[in-house]
Amino acid sequence: MLKILVVEDDAQLASTIKYLVEDNPRYRVVATAEDADGAIEAAERHQPHLALVDLHLANGSTGFAVAVRLQDLDVPCLFVSGKPPSFAMPDLALGCLTKQFTAEDVHRAIGLAEDRLRGRDALRMRLPSNLHVYDQAESAPDVPGFIPSRRSLRTRIEHWISAQQG
Protein backbone atom coordinates (compact mmCIF):
# COMPACT_ATOMS: atom_id res chain seq x y z
CA MET A 1 0.00 0.00 0.00
CA LEU A 2 1.32 3.44 -0.97
CA LYS A 3 1.17 5.91 1.94
CA ILE A 4 0.40 9.46 0.78
CA LEU A 5 0.60 12.84 2.50
CA VAL A 6 -1.72 15.57 1.17
CA VAL A 7 -0.50 19.15 1.64
CA GLU A 8 -3.36 21.52 0.78
CA ASP A 9 -4.55 24.64 2.62
CA ASP A 10 -8.16 24.37 1.40
CA ALA A 11 -9.75 21.90 3.84
CA GLN A 12 -12.59 20.99 1.48
CA LEU A 13 -10.20 20.33 -1.41
CA ALA A 14 -7.87 18.34 0.86
CA SER A 15 -10.84 16.19 1.86
CA THR A 16 -11.82 15.74 -1.79
CA ILE A 17 -8.27 14.74 -2.75
CA LYS A 18 -8.21 12.25 0.14
CA TYR A 19 -11.50 10.77 -1.07
CA LEU A 20 -10.26 10.54 -4.68
CA VAL A 21 -6.94 8.96 -3.65
CA GLU A 22 -8.53 6.40 -1.35
CA ASP A 23 -11.01 5.42 -4.04
CA ASN A 24 -8.16 3.11 -5.09
CA PRO A 25 -7.54 0.50 -2.37
CA ARG A 26 -3.79 0.48 -3.12
CA TYR A 27 -3.45 4.07 -1.89
CA ARG A 28 -3.97 5.48 1.60
CA VAL A 29 -3.76 9.07 2.77
CA VAL A 30 -1.91 8.93 6.09
CA ALA A 31 -2.17 12.66 6.87
CA THR A 32 -3.13 16.07 5.56
CA ALA A 33 -1.41 19.38 6.29
CA GLU A 34 -2.17 22.99 5.44
CA ASP A 35 1.33 24.48 5.57
CA ALA A 36 5.05 23.64 5.53
CA ASP A 37 5.41 23.07 9.27
CA GLY A 38 2.39 20.76 9.38
CA ALA A 39 3.67 18.86 6.35
CA ILE A 40 7.09 18.23 7.89
CA GLU A 41 5.56 17.20 11.21
CA ALA A 42 3.17 14.80 9.44
CA ALA A 43 5.97 13.38 7.27
CA GLU A 44 8.16 12.71 10.29
CA ARG A 45 5.29 11.03 12.13
CA HIS A 46 3.77 8.96 9.28
CA GLN A 47 6.71 8.40 6.88
CA PRO A 48 4.70 8.66 3.64
CA HIS A 49 5.97 7.26 0.36
CA LEU A 50 4.68 10.28 -1.62
CA ALA A 51 3.37 13.79 -0.97
CA LEU A 52 0.74 15.56 -3.07
CA VAL A 53 1.63 19.22 -2.56
CA ASP A 54 -0.28 22.37 -3.50
CA LEU A 55 1.99 25.26 -4.47
CA HIS A 56 0.18 28.00 -2.52
CA LEU A 57 -0.29 27.11 1.15
CA ALA A 58 -1.46 28.65 4.42
CA ASN A 59 0.64 30.84 6.70
CA GLY A 60 2.74 32.24 3.86
CA SER A 61 4.39 28.93 3.01
CA THR A 62 4.75 27.47 -0.47
CA GLY A 63 4.81 24.03 -2.01
CA PHE A 64 8.37 24.72 -3.14
CA ALA A 65 9.49 25.13 0.48
CA VAL A 66 7.65 21.95 1.42
CA ALA A 67 9.29 20.02 -1.43
CA VAL A 68 12.77 21.14 -0.37
CA ARG A 69 12.17 20.11 3.24
CA LEU A 70 10.52 16.81 2.29
CA GLN A 71 13.54 15.93 0.16
CA ASP A 72 15.58 15.87 3.36
CA LEU A 73 13.16 13.21 4.63
CA ASP A 74 13.33 11.26 1.34
CA VAL A 75 9.66 11.92 0.56
CA PRO A 76 9.14 12.64 -3.16
CA CYS A 77 6.52 15.19 -4.17
CA LEU A 78 3.95 15.54 -6.88
CA PHE A 79 2.73 19.12 -7.16
CA VAL A 80 -1.03 19.67 -7.37
CA SER A 81 -1.88 23.19 -8.43
CA GLY A 82 -4.32 25.34 -10.33
CA LYS A 83 -1.39 26.98 -12.08
CA PRO A 84 1.69 24.84 -12.75
CA PRO A 85 5.17 26.39 -12.54
CA SER A 86 6.33 28.04 -15.76
CA PHE A 87 9.15 25.50 -16.11
CA ALA A 88 9.81 21.95 -15.00
CA MET A 89 11.39 21.36 -11.59
CA PRO A 90 12.61 17.77 -11.60
CA ASP A 91 14.85 18.57 -8.62
CA LEU A 92 11.79 19.24 -6.47
CA ALA A 93 8.95 17.10 -7.79
CA LEU A 94 8.03 14.25 -10.09
CA GLY A 95 5.58 16.49 -11.91
CA CYS A 96 2.52 18.69 -11.51
CA LEU A 97 -1.13 17.65 -11.74
CA THR A 98 -3.14 20.71 -12.71
CA LYS A 99 -6.45 21.27 -10.94
CA GLN A 100 -9.48 20.43 -12.11
CA PHE A 101 -8.96 16.71 -12.14
CA THR A 102 -10.96 13.52 -11.87
CA ALA A 103 -10.40 10.45 -9.72
CA GLU A 104 -8.95 8.73 -12.78
CA ASP A 105 -6.49 11.62 -13.28
CA VAL A 106 -5.38 11.34 -9.65
CA HIS A 107 -4.96 7.56 -9.85
CA ARG A 108 -2.95 7.76 -13.07
CA ALA A 109 -0.73 10.53 -11.69
CA ILE A 110 -0.08 8.53 -8.52
CA GLY A 111 0.48 5.41 -10.65
CA LEU A 112 3.18 7.29 -12.57
CA ALA A 113 4.76 8.41 -9.31
CA GLU A 114 4.62 4.85 -7.99
CA ASP A 115 6.31 3.56 -11.17
CA ARG A 116 9.12 6.07 -10.73
CA LEU A 117 9.49 5.31 -7.03
CA ARG A 118 9.78 1.60 -7.73
CA GLY A 119 12.28 2.16 -10.54
CA ARG A 120 9.99 1.10 -13.36
CA ASP A 121 11.14 2.67 -16.62
CA ALA A 122 7.96 2.14 -18.62
CA LEU A 123 5.56 5.03 -18.31
CA ARG A 124 1.87 4.28 -18.24
CA MET A 125 0.33 4.53 -21.66
CA ARG A 126 -2.50 6.95 -20.91
CA LEU A 127 -1.32 9.79 -18.73
CA PRO A 128 -3.81 12.53 -17.86
CA SER A 129 -3.59 15.54 -20.16
CA ASN A 130 -3.36 17.81 -17.10
CA LEU A 131 -0.27 16.01 -15.72
CA HIS A 132 3.04 17.70 -16.47
CA VAL A 133 5.77 15.09 -15.94
CA TYR A 134 9.18 16.44 -14.99
CA ASP A 135 11.84 14.50 -16.83
CA GLN A 136 15.37 14.60 -15.43
CA ALA A 137 16.72 14.89 -18.97
CA GLU A 138 14.76 18.03 -19.90
CA SER A 139 16.86 20.86 -21.20
CA ALA A 140 17.17 24.01 -19.12
CA PRO A 141 14.47 26.57 -19.85
CA ASP A 142 15.36 29.98 -21.23
CA VAL A 143 14.57 31.79 -17.96
CA PRO A 144 16.93 34.46 -16.62
CA GLY A 145 18.66 33.28 -13.46
CA PHE A 146 17.69 29.62 -13.88
CA ILE A 147 20.42 27.30 -12.62
CA PRO A 148 19.82 23.70 -13.74
CA SER A 149 22.03 21.84 -11.25
CA ARG A 150 20.31 20.24 -8.27
CA ARG A 151 22.47 21.79 -5.57
CA SER A 152 22.29 25.30 -7.06
CA LEU A 153 18.52 25.22 -7.49
CA ARG A 154 18.04 23.93 -3.98
CA THR A 155 20.43 26.52 -2.57
CA ARG A 156 18.59 29.30 -4.40
CA ILE A 157 15.26 28.15 -3.00
CA GLU A 158 16.64 27.80 0.53
CA HIS A 159 18.08 31.33 0.34
CA TRP A 160 14.76 32.66 -0.91
CA ILE A 161 12.90 30.91 1.93
CA SER A 162 15.35 32.30 4.50
CA ALA A 163 14.91 35.80 3.12
CA GLN A 164 11.12 35.50 3.38
CA GLN A 165 11.27 34.33 7.01
CA GLY A 166 13.67 36.93 8.31
Reported as a single tens digit per residue, the pLDDT across 19-70 is 999 999 999 999 999 999 999 999 999 999 999 999 989 888 899 999 999 9
pLDDT tens digits, residue range 129-149? 888 888 755 445 555 555 554
The strand pair at 131-133 and 95-98 is best described as antiparallel
d(CA 17, CA 105): 11
* Residues 27, 121, 136: CA angle, nearest 5 degrees: 95
Q: What is the pLDDT of residue 150?
A: 46
d(CA 113, CA 95): 9
Ordered structural domains, the chain, with CATH: 2-165 (3.40.50.2300)
